[in-house]
Amino acid sequence: MIKIDFPEGTNIILGQTHFIKSVEDLYEAMVTSLPDPHFGIAFSEASGAKLVRHIGTDTDLEDIAAANLMKIGAGHCFLIIMRDCFPINVLPAVKAVPEVCRIFCATANPLEVVVARKENAGAILGVFDGDSPVGIEKAEDIAWRVDILRKFSYKIGG
């Protein structure tokens, strides 16, 4: 397992993609989804030069994303680290990038990535995103959830 290190107060999206063009397309998805987003993207190639490509609006977040992908050591994956914005605001655009195959997680929780290794390659098998639940919500927990979602201007039923 590989622990992903990212600054407190940031969110990440970890996914799988398949083409060098992905890093440019993910950048476009981010900058067209929000006004003035702060983020760094890294993408790891699985063939050719086998480099971790990176781009973003915040060089520190770019560097952190690239360093994490080097630790993971798997090809064709990407990591977006964002500050002052949330995955819910960009995830539809990220998922719409034609090269994106899957999203492993979108989180601000502590994250560990399960990686399998063989000879010269690594593969992301899944993630540990945060902790296990400790109970089932009660009426007061439901009221809190409804209130917080309304404060964030999300519509909910019931």
Distance CA 114, CA 118 (A): 14
Output the tens digit of pLDDT for each of the chain's 158 residues.
999 999 999 999 999 998 888 999 999 999 999 999 999 999 999 999 999 999 999 999 999 999 999 999 999 999 999 999 999 999 999 999 999 999 999 999 999 999 999 988 999 999 999 999 999 999 999 899 888 888 777 765 55
Distance (Å, whole) CA 73 – CA 8: 23
Domain assignment present for residue 85? The answer is yes
CATH number of the domain that residue 15 is part of: 3.40.1520.10
Q: What is the pLDDT of residue 33?
A: 93
Q: Is residue 155 part of a domain?
A: no
Residue 151 in any domain: the answer is: no
The neighbour count for residue 57, using CB atoms within 10 Å, is 17
Model confidence, pTM? 0.91
Q: For the chain, what is the domain count?
A: 1
- How confident is the model at residue 97, as a pLDDT? 96
137 lies in a domain?
no
Q: In this structure, is residue 40 part of a structural domain? A: yes
Q: Could you give phi then psi for residue 91, rounded to 5 degrees?
A: -60, -40
Across the strands, what pairs with 55? 41
* pLDDT at res. 53: 96
Give dist(CA 50, CA 151) in Å, integer.
45
Q: What is the pLDDT of residue 63?
A: 98
Does residue 74 lie within any of the structural domains?
yes
152 domain-assigned: no
Does some domain include residue 46?
A: yes
The range of the structural domain enclosing residue 121 comes to: 2-132
Instruction: Provide the pLDDT for residue 91.
Output: 96
Strand residues in the chain grouped as ranges (E): 2-4, 10-17, 38-44, 52-56, 77-83, 100-107, 111-118, 121-129
